[in-house]
Structure 1
Amino acid sequence: MVSPRRSPSRRRLAAALLVGSGVAFVSAGCAIELAAVAPSPSPSYVSDFEAPAPTEFAPLRGTSVEPGSLEGASLSAKIDNHPDARPQVGLDTADVVFEELVEGGMTRYVGVWHSDIPEVLGPVRSIRPMDPDIVSPFGGIIAYSGGQERFVALMQQTGVYNAIHGQPDTASTFYRTDDKRAPHNVLVKAREVASEHTDLAPPAQQFAFARDAASATATRHGEPTASLSYAFSPQVSGSWTWDAAAETFARAQSGAPDEDAAGDQLEATNVVVLRVAVTIDQDIPKTELVGSGEAWVSSGGATVHGTWSKPDATSPVRLVDDHGAVVRLAPGTTWFELVPTEGSVEFAPPAG
């Protein structure tokens, strides 16, 4: 019996299978000679993807920071705004600043530092009756030069550590500079003070922040604003002008740029104007900050109108727009103008 011959199609199939296995063949009649062939190299993949560095949230600015960089407490300070105290030291790095009315129609500041505590700040002055309501939500430390016993007692009753000029615990961290005359010359070694109180907790987030400046409530829904001006009294007035290139509002008072110790104009990402009642106790004005009232929030070159509220001393100021939605600030620094109801505030649109 004769065996059937393998058909060419079967030979081709076998050859294809062998080639697919990395083996070559040579045909000679019906014989198949096999030769090893190197397999194709496995494909390699190169990725240029890098995982983003971990970050944390700066509670008073709404910005991203390196993990562990903001573990300490905030440092607040009562800052002098008398002409003899200017230019102040350290205001340019404050996270939040409040301007408030004091006696004689003048104003002073409460600055709050956490993201960037300067080496030195000041000049500091004495405490006033509204300061416990301003500082309590931040916790941490409050630095000031003293004050009437009743007002100092109010501040000491808060959960904030009181660092007061002239006390044993501030002997090495508070000093008088020769650059200014008393009482407008008490400066504070801010970083040293903060380093002495590492047991104090960091501040809680105070305000709602947008993801970026373009997403802030005022930027998205507000009226375009070239500048805003205000008056606390016949003695004190000021303004903020939008700087599109810097994406900040630049500050002026008494008709001139308001500059820091380095000669740079003070600026803020957000400017918040609160209309507040002011009561008088033995000739001392008190801004009534526990309550509610009219508010304007300026961010990203625009302003939105709304309402502020603060139910008690330890609660932060809450801002909502005219529709009742929470106002989101742009990430960055914020300056509060606590303008009395007897004062004034005006907003100017861009030219044209």
Structure 2
Amino acid sequence: MPGGAARPAPRRAGVAIATSIAVLAVAALAGCEPAGPVPTGTPAPGAAARPVPADPAPPVAVAFAPLRGTPMDASALDHPSIAVKIDDHEEARPQIGLNRADLVFEELVEGGLTRYAAVWHADVPEEVGPVRSIRPMDPDIVVPFGGLVAYSGGQEQFVAMMEDTPVVNLVFDFDDSGLFTRADDRPSPHDVLLAADEAVGRHTELGPPPVQFAYGSTDPLAPLGAAATPTSRIDAVFSESRFPSWEWDASAGVWLRLQEGRPDTDASGDRVRATNVVTLRVAIDWSYGDVPRTVLGGAGEAWVSVAGRTAHGSWSKASQEAPIVLSADDGSPLRLAPGTTWIELVPVDGSVGFTP
């Protein structure tokens, strides 16, 4: 055609006639005339077609880690916690897996030394250690979590106290499961390691731990105003041999630990750190001779340090099974920031200091 104009498309008469016959037949069957054009399934001009996923992914159930207060995939939390007695002797350092623990309790033991009761749930390492023996205060610390507790042994009376609880005991001295091993590069008795992830995997019939502390925002002490004082350093004295400290790192938003004035690291080479540091003043029961028992029943003085602030208050624990409750001086809950927490169980004849 002139000018290169396109030819009009030829009318498909046969198709049009067939369509008209089909429409009349449907109308006759319905007993009425057609009300309008027959829909063809083609979107109206300007209407965007909505794509439909061929295989939509199922929604992921989100829950909060009970010992951290952080959001996580619910399926990743469907297992028990495991508490492990961790050595803090000089020859036991650096420890394995400390920075991955949800909670770590530091307690006084004989000789003025300290030892840890570390609890893993949200992030259970393949291996933790060095594992050491049980002490008389450990049932009061561990029972509220349920789940598992692992230790290397201990005095018969202390082992009996721990075994006389609902918590599943994993004991190196009696172990035939292969969960415990000895490290070739560490001196005995500071060389016992535990396959923590495998231990938890063997007890999937046990449920996750209950929530222990109240959690708030990343700066949960801000609502307390002047009652939460700026803090750059925490100094605790357990004895002449053990005086750990914590320094606030504002850029990382964490507390960094020192051991007797020296930076404390775990086996990864990273500084030991925590989102929250909770300091409790506790009485010591000396009825077991030279083995001190931290008294965790009743109540006492407490401090919560988070986000470069510290608030004073009190702690209480109603029974062995009950969690520790933290309250501000005005009676309101002392909340933690979502993350990991160290609990310093400082004897009343020790000391605690907070530097602005």
TM-score (norm 1): 0.84
1:305 counterpart (307, 312, 318):
312
**Is structure 2 residue 98 aligned with structure 1 residue 116?**
no
**Is structure 2 residue 86 aligned with structure 1 residue 82?**
no
Task: Give the corresponding residue for 1:318.
Answer: 325
Q: What amino acid does structure 2 have at the position aligned with 1:217?
A: L
2:136 counterpart (129, 133, 137):
129
Distance 1:262 1:79 in 2: 16
Aligned-residue offset at 1:282? 1.6
Aligned-residue offset at 1:40? 7.8
Q: What amino acid does structure 2 have at the position aligned with 1:344?
A: S
Aligned-residue offset at 1:330? 0.1
The alpha-carbon distance between structure 1 residues 233 and 218, as it changes in their structure 2 partners (threshold 3 A), is farther
The alpha-carbon distance between structure 1 residues 84 and 168, as it changes in their structure 2 partners (threshold 3 A), is closer
Q: What amino acid does structure 1 have at the position aligned with 2:277?
A: V
CA contact 1:218–1:297 (8 Å) conserved in 2: no
Mark the runs of 5 or more structure 1 residues left unpaired by the alignment: 1-38
* Alignment map for 1:184-223 (pairs within 5 Å): 184-210=190-216, 212-214=217-219, 216-217=220-221, 221=225, 222-223=228-229
Identity across matched positions, percent: 53
* Alignment map for 1:37-56 (pairs within 5 Å): 41=45, 43-44=47-48, 54-56=61-63
CA contact 1:218–1:298 (8 Å) conserved in 2: no
Task: Give the corresponding residue for 1:3.
Answer: none
TM-score (norm 2): 0.83
Distance 2:340 2:257 in 1: 13
Distance 1:90 1:219 in 2: 34
Aligned-residue offset at 1:53? 5.4
Aligned-residue offset at 1:54? 3.8
Task: Give the corresponding residue for 1:151.
Answer: 158
Q: Secondary structure at the match of 1:241?
A: strand
2:256 counterpart (250, 258, 263):
250
Aligned-residue offset at 1:279? 1.3
The alpha-carbon distance between structure 1 residues 115 and 140, as it changes in their structure 2 partners (threshold 3 A), is same
* Alignment map for 1:160-239 (pairs within 5 Å): 160-170=167-177, 172-210=178-216, 212-214=217-219, 216-217=220-221, 221=225, 222-239=228-245
Distance 1:189 1:250 in 2: 27
After the TM superposition, which segments of 4 or more aligned residues of structure 1 sit over 4 Å from their partners? 42-47
Calculate the aligned-residue CA RMSD, in Å: 1.9
The alpha-carbon distance between structure 1 residues 46 and 225, as it changes in their structure 2 partners (threshold 3 A), is farther
Residues 77-129 of structure 1, C-alpha deviations (whole Å, 9 max, x = no match): 00000000000001110000000000000000000000000010000111000
Distance 1:204 1:191 in 2: 19
**Is structure 2 residue 266 aligned with structure 1 residue 260?**
yes
* Alignment map for 1:67-106 (pairs within 5 Å): 67-106=74-113
Aligned length, in residue pairs: 306
Residues 323-349 of structure 1, C-alpha deviations (whole Å, 9 max, x = no match): 001111000000000000000110011
Distance 2:127 2:203 in 1: 17
Distance 1:40 1:187 in 2: 69
